[in-house]
Amino acid sequence: MKRNTCCFFGHRTINETEELKSRLIEIIEKLIVEKQVDTFLFGSKSQFNSLCLELVTKIKEKYPHIKRVYVRAEYPYISEHYKNYLLESYECTYYPEKIINSGRATYIERNYEMIDNSQFCIVYYDEQCATLPSKSGTKIALDYAIKQCKIIIKVL
């Protein structure tokens, strides 16, 4: 999945501006056209993920071959009804088996899964969060992506 795949991660709350939306659209389209990215991995629980899903869904009208994949951090086993609900917004969803029993680290492990399966990472990270007493999940994911030598595109 890696070569033509991009994941998104960022803070739960963001400053959603028209400039940010335009920049994201430009980056996503450039990845599709110039780098042949055709798969986009999404997590949950953040405004950034929601915004990126909205934009990729809009871009999909122009590039119908792209796939949106929801990597679940909750519900390892889902009903057919819930799966069908998710497939209204995504082409695929899965729960990484390796995160079962991760406890409080579930979202961190899910982000690692997305990073491991991507060549590109689009990240919304506010440096001011680095000064907080506890490390943010976004910072943990960013540090991991850097360590894994991923191509990181920061949008903040």
Least confident of 12-21, 66-75, 131-140: 131-140
Confidence of residue 131 (pLDDT cuts 50, 70, 90): low
Confidence of residue 133 (pLDDT cuts 50, 70, 90): low
CA dist list (Å): 23 to 7, 48, 129, 148, 153: 16, 13, 22, 25, 11
pLDDT above 90 (res 60): yes
pLDDT above 90 (res 20): yes
> How many separate domains does the chain show?
1
Confidence of residue 135 (pLDDT cuts 50, 70, 90): confident
Confidence of residue 3 (pLDDT cuts 50, 70, 90): confident
Q: What is the CATH number of the domain that holds 86?
A: 3.40.50.450
Whole-number average pLDDT of the chain: 93
pLDDT above 60 (res 50): yes
Q: For 9, list phi and psi in degrees, rounded to 5.
A: -155, 150
Interhelix angle for 137-147 vs 106-116, to 10°? 30
Domain ranges, residue 69: 5-154
Note the pLDDT of residue 147.
97
Note the pLDDT of residue 136.
83
In a 13 Å sphere around the CA of 94, the CA atoms on its Cβ side amount to: 11
Note the pLDDT of residue 132.
55
